[in-house]
Structure 1
Amino acid sequence: MLKCKHITEKADALVDGSALSRRERFALRLHLMMCRHCRRYVRQLRALLGFLPRQEEPLEDARTEAILKKLDASQGH
């Protein structure tokens, strides 16, 4: 039986349909049927990903660094 830690590690793959084996997908879904906290986590992750704009091409490293600096500055770091 999977633990909640495993769900948080694999939730992104479950949500975006990435390569999970049939066995992994089954184990994740079985855990989600029993754990309301992980169901909430996956539901929130889906909602978050639904609000984020889709980026077809990866950002350049310089652009990524600029975004991270802005986030740090807005959080007072």
Structure 2
Amino acid sequence: MLTCKEQVARSSDYLDGQLNFREKLMVRHHLMFCPNCRRFIRQMRLMQATLKAMPHEPVEDVDALAERLAEQRRKDKPL
């Protein structure tokens, strides 16, 4: 089984779909038993989604952008 340190090192490749079948199984096996790494992966997915949603041009009103992203997040994933 992977250690948490090994899991974190593979996280970006896992989320980008760049692991081979064996590596992907090792990551998934670790995630089944490690709540901290599951939380880390969820945070990484949220970060990726947030970065994709950000505009490419500089934004004048950063507070409005932050509120819009938070509102979109609430709509996408209700608590």
Which runs of no fewer than 5 residues in structure 1 stay unpaired? Answer: 55-77
Q: Is 2:20 the partner of 1:21?
A: yes
Q: CA deviation at 1:44?
A: 0.2
Aligned CA-pair RMSD? 1.2
Which runs of no fewer than 5 residues in structure 2 stay unpaired? Answer: 54-79
Cα deviations by residue, 1:34-73 (Å, 9 ceiling, x for unpaired): 000000000000000111038xxxxxxxxxxxxxxxxxxx
Counterparts of 1:1-77 in structure 2, within 5 Å, are 1-18=1-18, 20-53=19-52
Q: TM-score, normalised by structure 2?
A: 0.63
Q: CA deviation at 1:17?
A: 1.2
Q: TM-score, normalised by structure 1?
A: 0.65
Q: Distance in 2 between matches of 1:21 and 1:8?
A: 16
Q: Distance in 2 between matches of 1:51 and 1:33?
A: 25
